């Protein structure tokens, strides 16, 4: 088989990269063994324009938002899935200091923030002492339907090889690659945490972190917003909510823990006034980076080996934008954003 590009992985990065490769007229094959607890499959799919205790804008959000809405709407139409929905965040203040921080930020810049008309609006569902603010617009990506629907499209078009990728079967040539009986111009790794140990990219400053989430059923809980108070409660499907997530920098394995489950259930019992039932508990490891910037581009010594990875918790917001940039680079040699281009690590990768 002769194709233009091999893409390893069909998480959020592999999905968007392959989508834009197809739009640009390139042929591709995704190699991916389905894994139920991958980072993309356990992600809530939140796009939030502000972050942190200082409530600052997330990196590049003003450039990202217009692209994101158009991209997800377009992809949703192609695979017949409602892929994106505006779902603003109701941010309950856990302390008086956080309320003051929000109000101070609001007075200086009201973009993406608003104060409620009635701070008692959610009293029937939640316990809260210090009021709340609203972050808007926020979006929720329908990951649980979008990724499987896109996978079915790949299967139908015979663009998916469902197996565990084996590095030992990869031969890297000066201007091409060979994988078993597949010849391609290049291979691009979108395989999340597996790139940590990839010999071509293991020197990149990855900073993997573990996240755990619960799913609960709560028929009386409103699904109008994403609710935040230390943890997030996110509408997932009818009466089902995603609850999480943790950020663990030191961990033994990718298995869910009793400590997280019990701690989170205790928080929910204190926070919620409505009954709920625990349905599921999963964990995964995110492909985060030390500098919180993605890894996009090709190896300085092996021009046929590329990477599209390192999105961390921002995969839903970063992947469509940088997939377009990477494909434009392949097609028209347009530059990749310097804070994302792995050229910034050329010396480290050349060792």
What's the confidence (pLDDT) of residue 108? 87
Cα separation, 146 vs 316, in Å, equals 12
**Domain residues of the chain, as ranges?**
2-43+144-206+290-349, 89-136+209-286
Rounded mean pLDDT of 244-254?
86
Residues contacting 194, CB < 8 A, separation 6+:
8, 9, 165
Say whether pLDDT at 287 is over 90: no
pLDDT for the residue 20: 98
What pLDDT score does 250 carry? 86
Which residue, among 88, 38, 43, 37, has the nearest Cα to 244 in the 3D structure? 43
**89-136+209-286: CATH class:** alpha beta
pLDDT average, residue stretch 86-107: 92
Widest CA span of the chain, in angstroms? 65
Distance of alpha carbon 3 from alpha carbon 6, whole angstroms: 8
Distance (Å) of CA 236 to CA 144, 229, 257: 8, 18, 22
**pLDDT in the model for residue 139:** 96
What's the pLDDT at 193?
87
Question: Read out DSSP for 261-324?
Answer: HHHHHHHHHHHBSS--EEEEEEEEEE--BTTS--EEEE-SS-TTEEEEE--GGGHHHHHHHHHH
Q: Hey, which residues does 248 pair with through a beta bridge? A: 210
**113 Cβ neighbours under 8 A, 6+ residues apart:** 50, 55, 102, 105, 106, 133, 134, 135, 136
Per-residue confidence at 184, pLDDT binned at 50, 70, 90? very high
Looking only at the bridges linking them, the beta strands covering 182-189 and 2-8 are parallel
Give the CATH fold of the 2-43+144-206+290-349 domain. FAD/NAD(P)-binding domain (3.50.50)
The reply to whether 2-43+144-206+290-349 and 89-136+209-286 are identical in fold is no
**Structure confidence by residue, pLDDT tens digits, 320-330:** 999 999 999 99
For residue 101, which phi and psi values (nearest 5 degrees)?
Answer: -65, -45
């Amino acid at each position: 088989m002769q194709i233009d590009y091999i893409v390893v992985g069909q998480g959020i990065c592999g999905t968007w990269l392959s989508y834009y490769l197809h739009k640009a007229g390139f042929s591709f094959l995704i190699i991916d063994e389905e894994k139920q607890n991958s980072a993309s499959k356990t992600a809530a799919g939140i796009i939030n324009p502000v972050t942190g205790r200082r409530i600052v804008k997330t990196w590049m959000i003003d450039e990202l938002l217009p692209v994101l809405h158009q991209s997800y709407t377009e992809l949703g139409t192609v695979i017949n899935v409602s892929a994106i929905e505006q779902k603003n965040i109701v941010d309950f203040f856990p302390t008086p200091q956080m309320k003051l921080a929000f109000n101070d930020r609001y007075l200086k810049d009201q973009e993406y923030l608003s104060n409620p008309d009635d701070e008692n609006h959610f009293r029937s569902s939640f316990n809260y002492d210090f009021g709340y603010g609203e972050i808007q617009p926020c979006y929720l990506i329908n990951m649980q339907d979008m990724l499987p629907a896109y996978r079915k499209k790949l299967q139908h078009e015979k663009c998916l090889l469902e197996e565990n990728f084996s590095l030992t079967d990869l031969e890297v040539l000066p201007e091409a690659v060979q994988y078993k009986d597949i010849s391609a111009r290049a291979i691009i790794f979108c395989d999340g945490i597996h790139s940590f140990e990839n010999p071509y990219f293991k020197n990149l400053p990855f900073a993997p972190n573990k996240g755990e989430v619960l799913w609960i059923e709560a028929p009386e809980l409103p699904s109008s917003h994403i609710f935040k108070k230390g943890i997030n409660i996110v509408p997932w499907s009818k009466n089902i909510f995603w609850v999480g997530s943790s950020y663990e920098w030191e961990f033994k394995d990718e298995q869910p823990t009793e400590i997280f489950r019990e701690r989170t259930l205790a928080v929910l019992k204190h926070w919620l006034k409505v009954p709920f039932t625990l349905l599921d508990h999963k964990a995964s490891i995110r492909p985060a980076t030390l500098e919180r910037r993605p890894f996009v581009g090709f190896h300085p010594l092996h021009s046929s080996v590329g990477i599209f990875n390192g999105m961390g918790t921002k995969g839903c917001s970063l992947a469509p934008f940088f997939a377009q940039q990477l494909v434009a680079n392949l097609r028209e040699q347009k530059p990749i954003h310097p804070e994302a281009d792995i050229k910034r690590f050329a010396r480290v990768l050349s060792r």
